[in-house]
Structure 1
Amino acid sequence: MGEQLNIGTWFEIAEWSFFSLLALALLGLVAVIARRYALERGGGAVECYLRPVHGRRRPWRIGCGRYGTDELRWYRIFSLWPRPAVELPRRGLVVVGRRSPEGEELRELTDDLVVVEVGWTAPDGSDPKEPVYELAMSDAALTGFLSWLESLPPGVPWRDDDDE
């Protein structure tokens, strides 16, 4: 007790701390890369940006959209969370508008992306007045998104029996 550490001991502690933090950072990077590989390996996934429209405009978040039978599941790229951050149900999902990135958006997006505004039909079947989300994706990804949106797998009814 009361014994002081010499400079060599402090250097050794700092060295071990540095290498421990470096190992943790590399482990985290490997985990993010492995998660992204797992999301994309099964097919039906596309890289796209997403942001909610309600309220004030929020920054774009890069992620991976994965097409399912009933919804588009959107995962953040730089996250280890196994569940999707956003699920966009397919039933009633419509494209409200399409445009190129403009103004301040070009700080976060490139000009070769297309911004698609999406929303859901109202209970009476009318088109939405305002978009709920914006997706930014390449032209090829947009073609796939629109194809997914307009098609249904075999055996899935377009409308429920109680809709008639």
Structure 2
Amino acid sequence: MGEHLAVDVGGVLAAVVLVAVLLYVGMVVRRRLFARGGGTVECSLRELPRDGEVPGAWRLGFGRYKGDVLQWHRVFGFRTRPRQVIHRRGLVVANRRGPGPEETESLPPDVTIIEVRDGDLTVELAMGAEALTGFLAWLEAAPPGFPVDLPSPE
């Protein structure tokens, strides 16, 4: 009986490890497929409530520029559709700051946080210097007539 139990436990452990490896490979392949099309940047996101409530948690992800929208996807996920879509038309960059002491553990090092308003949606995006430069260039490259509001540099 002890041998059968050991074989059963070993089989279950092998199946669990196999499933974990397949999930990891699936996430890596998904990310590479997104990156292959170009225009992807590392970008953490957190939603800001309207009524002074506590902001949501920071979620690790990446943004993908697709025409006049920035599609945000979670890193650890399998969805092919974006979790958030930020439209360039009418976009307002309301604030720019460094991470606070309570945010440093949940964000990559050397990021800048920008508050972005797109209609009813208000989010904060945490990006490295290169990603932020690309984001601001994407905003400034809007076609004539696009109302984009950028804060003056500090």
TM bucket (normalised to shorter chain) is: 0.7 to 0.9
Select which of 15, 22, 26 maps to 1:27: 22
Between the aligned partners of 1:110 and 1:26, the Cα distance in structure 2 is 25
Structure 1 residue ranges, 4+ long, deviating more than 6 angstroms after superposition: none
- Unaligned runs of at least 5 residues, structure 2: 147-154
May I ask how many residue pairs the two structures share in their alignment?
Answer: 143
Q: How does 1:99-114 map to 2 (within 5 A)?
A: 99-114=97-112
Between the aligned partners of 1:38 and 1:64, the Cα distance in structure 2 is 13
Q: Which residue does the alignment assign to 1:51?
A: 46
Q: Which residue does the alignment assign to 2:79?
A: 81
Task: Please report how far the alpha carbon of residue 33 of structure 1 lies from its aligned counterpart in structure 2 after TM superposition.
Answer: 0.5
Between the aligned partners of 2:107 and 2:124, the Cα distance in structure 1 is 13
Q: CA RMSD in A?
A: 1.7
Task: Please report how far the alpha carbon of residue 78 of structure 1 lies from its aligned counterpart in structure 2 after TM superposition.
Answer: 0.5
- Unaligned runs of at least 5 residues, structure 1: 1-5, 123-130, 160-164
Identity of matched residues, %: 39
Q: Report the TM-score when normalising by structure 2.
A: 0.86
- Higher RCO structure (Cα 8 Å, ≥6 apart): 2
Larger radius of gyration: 1
